[in-house]
């Protein structure tokens, strides 16, 4: 009984620690996005979340360490949110349409716009962190779609020799000019009908290009 109680307490403590870390990174992301890296004071983050500055330094080492942790969390969260959309039960045209609509809505969201602007603004001071974010993030997303393509394409009689490269190409088609316009212009919006139409055209182009070879 005592051993179980200790185990339950440890599990509960771990859960609280994970939840607290998530809240801390969410708050830090909000502050970084609103103020930019240079104008962010980590004391303000601690004040909003609670706790101590010593705990922050123990966990992240520095303001830069916290910034890198925020970037990594955002990349992981975006990739995780895409996983349910990549349903291998759906044929390529339908599955890619679903993935594409989910991805583009996320990419054009207010939070994503702020996140990308924050990275660009901090890239001169922390080029390695920005470079890692802009490389690792898309690669994580590509892994999700590449796995879908690897499983689904053979079922649909389509040969894709390099699913990872194909996934990155698909994302490039989806972004088109819209992501950059959204980053540059806060008022830029894409209606649901226009978004669906753009994704449909991207899927059509993709399937007639990268996935053109059919299995014999």
Give 163-199 pLDDT, tens digit per residue: 999 999 999 999 999 998 998 898 999 999 999 999 9
CB 24 within 8 A of CB 46: no
207: confidence class by pLDDT, cuts 50, 70, 90: very high
**Which pTM does this prediction carry?**
0.77
How far are the Cα atoms of 35, 68, 83, 175, 194 from residue 123, in angstroms, in the given order? 15, 12, 29, 21, 32
6: confidence class by pLDDT, cuts 50, 70, 90: low
pLDDT recorded at residue 2 = 53
Report the range of poorest mean pLDDT among 29-43, 81-95, 155-169.
29-43
User: pLDDT at residue 216 above 50?
Assistant: no
Cβ atoms within 10 Å, residue 151? 14
């Amino acid at each position: 009984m005592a051993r179980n109680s200790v185990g339950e307490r440890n599990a509960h403590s771990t859960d609280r620690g994970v939840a607290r870390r998530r809240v801390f990174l969410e708050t830090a992301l909000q502050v970084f996005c609103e103020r930019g890296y240079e104008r962010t004071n980590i004391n303000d983050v601690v004040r909003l979340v609670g706790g101590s500055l010593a705990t922050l330094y123990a966990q992240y080492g520095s303001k830069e360490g916290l910034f890198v942790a925020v970037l990594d969390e955002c990349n992981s969260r975006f990739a995780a949110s895409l996983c349910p959309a990549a349903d291998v039960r759906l044929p390529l045209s339908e599955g890619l349409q679903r993935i594409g609509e989910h991805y583009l809505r996320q990419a054009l969201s207010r939070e994503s716009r702020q996140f990308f602007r924050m990275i660009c603004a901090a890239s001169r001071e922390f080029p390695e962190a920005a470079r890692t974010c802009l490389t690792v993030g898309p690669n994580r997303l590509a892994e999700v779609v590449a796995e879908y393509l690897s499983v689904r394409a053979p079922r649909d009689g389509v040969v894709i020799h390099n699913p990872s490269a194909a996934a990155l190409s698909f994302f490039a088609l989806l972004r088109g000019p819209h992501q950059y316009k959204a980053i540059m212009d806060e008022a830029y919006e894409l209606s649901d009908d226009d978004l669906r139409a753009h994704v449909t055209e991207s899927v059509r182009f993709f399937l007639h290009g990268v996935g053109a070879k059919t299995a014999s």
